[in-house]
Structure 1
Amino acid sequence: MKILIIDGDREVQAMLQSILHLSGYKVITTSTLEEAVDLCNCNVRGDKVGDKIDLVLMDLALSVGEVKGSDALADYKKIKSHKKFKNTPVIMMTGITDMDEIDEAFHQESIDYITKPIRKVDLIGRVRSVLSMKSEMDSRQAREKKLLEVTRKLEEAVQNLEQLSSYDALTGIANRRYFDKYLKLMWNRCSEDELELSLLMIDLDFFKDFNDTYGHQSGDSCLQEVASAFQSFFKVTGSLVCRYGGEEFAVILPDTAGDKALTLAEEARHQIEQLMIPHRMSSISDHVTVSIGLATTVPSEDVEIDSAMKLIDYADKALYMAKGQGRNQVMSYEEMKCYQRIPKSS
């Protein structure tokens, strides 16, 4: 271990250095605190000296004149304020005879000190005691640092697992698991704030025929392109685009009225058409298209759609109506009910 001695008396420096060296310690000597700081900022064989200091022995009488307890406290705070010595234990050496004053000053800050003239047995005993405590503290801090690092990595792993379990591996957007959690969250929020909540259920038209014709790799690329388009298009605050399953997507639109959701859905449908993904087996277009079902509710007020599950069910029913009416279109649940009221012609 390396000890730094700060003492203006060269003879004291030599005496302390000799005692400590014979006891197996490496010793560096300086006459002033400023010299010590300069030394620690210098490189010795490529290493920072300050990074190796394990203990500082510092004389109180570094300045001319009578040294009082308050001066001792100031000297101690001065050296401890320097980043090089922040975590380095310091033993103050003093020849002050008024022990009541110096003892009071030292105990306020729990400062360790040794009185002059310094006896070898006292010096070695005090140094070993302080270094033993430092070693124990260093070990404890290392364990705590390691524990913090392990905890951080564990938390990071949990977050990564949570993210992996919440997002679709193929498209990179939210999956069904996250959709269920988020819809419940938005349902409760819109219920508390008496806001409208809209849900879109989206299905790629004739996607099985697409896969059978172009192959599953092309089918995967199609899903990725459609998912990316939806993700880029839906920018409503709090909105969520997810892959609901297979070729089906869902979009949660909190604080979005039915008419606005209908407009967004129609624009999104058009966006997919504009991708111009070839689909020669579609009976309605030469390119990939989507059908969209929409349902809107105010969770705190709607008697008919009184749960998140019913919101999904009604949006799904509207989707199937859109598909039944010819696909490549948007159908709201309210519009679907109007269709159902129209009597069939005889």
Structure 2
Amino acid sequence: MSTLIVEPSASDLTELEALLKSWGYSDIIPCRSLDDARVQLGLSSVSIHVLHDLELAIIDISETDSFPKFVDELRQKIYYQDIPILTLSEGSRSEKMPMAFAFGAADFVSKPIAEYELRARVRSCLRLKHEVDRRKSRERELMEASHQLSDLNRILATVSMIDSLTGIPNRRCFDENFEQEWKRTFRNGGNITLIIGDIDYFKQYNDTYGHQATTVLPTLRRL
């Protein structure tokens, strides 16, 4: 999994990259500007690839006013919608923090950076990302189970209306359809026709040879 760092200061960028690697985050994407980040993330017209394994973005917003636009571009891509953004900034927290959180930052760290604080907030952001991923995975599983249950219910509803021996609609199907037709005829006016047929000596044959030997009904189905 990849971690994006956007830091205009070359020395700070090197320090951040070294810290993250020392904590076990080896796949680092260092950028000196948001424009560089756009290229790396496939948000620019000159991009040649997209990072589908990005899990965290650390962005210094001390000297940039384009952070809101960048976040908006990032969130428009479905594979970046849940990426937590950890913002960095020099000066008073009260100056930059409201803007950072208003435009989608997950957390905020003031410069100069305290190593223990940065590490804790990185872990917090990643826990948030993993929890969101877990929840969405569970939602997909529940949605799939719901679709399967709906399909099964449709199959059961169909099976419950069909006679297993003959493969033709059974008495339950007849009752429901006849009631619907009766109501429709009563509502719209007109006539309803019911044809009733009987098979001579069917009961005696059935009692003697059993249901499985009866071929009369399947034959009638083809008429």
Give TM-score scaled by structure 1 length: 0.51
Q: What pairs up with 1:52-63 in 2 under 5 angstroms?
A: 52-60=53-61
**Cα displacement (A) at 1:55:** 1.2
**Cα displacement (A) at 1:224:** 3.8
The CA distance in 1 between the partners of 2:96 and 2:67, in whole Å, is 8
| Corresponding residue to 1:33 among 30, 37, 50 | 37
The CA distance in 2 between the partners of 1:219 and 1:160, in whole Å, is 27
The CA distance in 2 between the partners of 1:6 and 1:197, in whole Å, is 78
Change (3 A) 1:151 1:142: same
Q: 1:44-85, CA deviations, whole angstroms, 9 ceiling, x for partnerless residues?
A: xxxxx7332221112336xxxx534xx332222222222331
Native 8 Å contact 1:5 1:28 kept in 2: yes
| Corresponding residue to 2:194 among 200, 204, 208 | 200
Q: Which residue of structure 1 lines up, in the alignment, with residue 100 of structure 2?
A: 106
Q: Which residue of structure 2 lines up, in the alignment, with residue 168 of structure 1?
A: 163
Aligned residue for 1:166, secondary structure, equals: coil
**Cα displacement (A) at 1:129:** 0.8
Q: What pairs up with 1:42-53 in 2 under 5 angstroms?
A: 42=49, 50-53=51-54
Native 8 Å contact 1:5 1:27 kept in 2: no
Native 8 Å contact 2:93 2:110 kept in 1: no
Q: Which residue of structure 2 lines up, in the alignment, with residue 12 of structure 1?
A: 12
Native 8 Å contact 2:162 2:173 kept in 1: yes
Q: Which residue of structure 2 lines up, in the alignment, with residue 119 of structure 1?
A: 114
Q: Give the number of equivalent residue pairs.
A: 210
Question: Quick check: which one's strand share is greater?
Answer: 1
The code of the aligned residue for 1:146 comes to E
Change (3 A) 1:25 1:188: same
**Cα displacement (A) at 1:172:** 4.7
The CA distance in 2 between the partners of 1:171 and 1:50, in whole Å, is 58
Structure 2 unaligned blocks of 5 or more: none
Q: What pairs up with 1:85-234 in 2 under 5 angstroms?
A: 85-95=80-90, 97=91, 99-112=93-106, 113-169=108-164, 172-191=167-186, 193-203=187-197, 219=216, 222-226=219-223
Change (3 A) 1:133 1:223: same
Give TM-score scaled by structure 2 length: 0.74
Aligned residue for 1:84, secondary structure, equals: helix
Native 8 Å contact 2:17 2:30 kept in 1: no
The CA distance in 2 between the partners of 1:10 and 1:38, in whole Å, is 23
The code of the aligned residue for 1:50 comes to L
Task: Choose 1 or 2 for highest CA Rg.
Answer: 1
Structure 1 unaligned blocks of 5 or more: 43-48, 227-346
Aligned residue for 1:145, secondary structure, equals: helix
Native 8 Å contact 1:60 1:75 kept in 2: no
Aligned residue for 2:81, secondary structure, equals: coil
Using the aligned pairs only, state the percent identity. 25
